[in-house]
A and B are shown apart, each in its own frame.
Chain A
Amino acid sequence: EAGVTQFPSHSVIEKGQTVTLRCDPISGHDNLYWYRRVMGKEIKFLLHFVKESKQDESGMPNNRFLAERTGGTYSTLKVQPAELEDSGVYFCASSLGTGVVQETQYFGPGTRLLVL
C-alpha cells in the first residue's frame, strides 16, 4: 500500500510569487490534514478535510493560503503571494476515519519551501 505522497519535495521561490503544493493521501482515507513546521519550531496544524469538505481550518494563518480537495482525493495548498515567513516544511497527513485504529494520522515526506 502506497503511503502519503507530496509534490514537490522542495520548492524555492521569490517573495511575491505563487506556489502550489500537492498531497495524495493513502487510498481510501477520507481525512486529510495539512501541517507545517516553520523555522525548526513546533509542527503546527493548518486544516483538516473530510472528503472534499473543510472540517477545520482554524490553523490557516491568513487568506494568502488556499487549500482545496476537489473530488475528495488529492489536495492542493496554494500560497499566494508567498512571504518570507512562509518558509518551512509543509506536511500532509491522512487517516481512515473514526475509531481506535482509524484515528492514526500517517504523514507524507513533506515539501520543503524556501521563500527568498
Chain B
Amino acid sequence: AQSVAQPEDQVNVAEGNPLTVKCTYSVSGNPYLFWYVQYPNRGLQFLLKYITGDNLVKGSYGFEAEFNKSQTSFHLKKPSALVSDSALYFCAVRDMGTGRRALTFGSGTRLQVQP
C-alpha cells in the first residue's frame, strides 16, 4: 500500500530565510508526487508535481521540490520565505504501479513564517 509521511506538524521560519517542508513516500511502483497548499478558508491549491524527468521541479510562487528516489523523499523548498507563504502544505503520491488515480496524502505541515 502507498503512504506519505510528513514528519513535522509545524515548521517555523523567519521571513527571508530558506524553508524546507519534508515529505517521504512509500509506493510499490514508480511515484507521481504532488505538493498542494491550503490557505485559511480556501481549498487545496496545486503547487507542483514530479512525474518524470528532472529531479528538481519548480512550481508556483517560487517553490521547488527535489525528487530523491534513493531516499524516497520529495521535500518542498523555497530560497526566501514570505509571510504570505504561511499556510498548510500537503504532500501527495500516486502509485503508478497500481493503475489507480487516487492520491494518498500526508497529514499536512503547517508553515508559519514570522516577519
Contact = CB atoms under 8 A, between A and B. Distances in A.
Interface of A: 4, 6, 31, 33, 35, 41-45, 48, 55-56, 58-59, 91, 93, 95, 100, 103-110
Interface stretch (B17-25, B37-45, B76-84): B37-45
A45 B32 contact: no
Interface size class of B (residues with CB under 8 A): 20 to 34
Contacts of B108: 42-43
Residue from B34, B43, B92 whose CB has the most chain A CB atoms within 10 Å = B43
A104 B101 contact: no
Main SS class of interface, A = strand
Contacts of B52: 100
A44 B3 CA distance: 11
A34 B101 CA distance: 12
Contacts of A44: 105
Contact of B102 (A45, A91, A100): A45
20 contacts: A35-B105, A41-B107, A42-B107, A42-B108, A43-B90, A43-B105, A43-B108, A45-B103, A48-B100, A48-B102, A56-B100, A56-B101, A58-B102, A91-B43, A95-B101, A103-B94, A104-B34, A104-B49, A105-B46, A110-B44
Interface of B: 32, 34, 36, 42-46, 49, 51-52, 90, 92, 94, 100-108
A71 B2 CA distance: 32
B44 A91 contact: yes
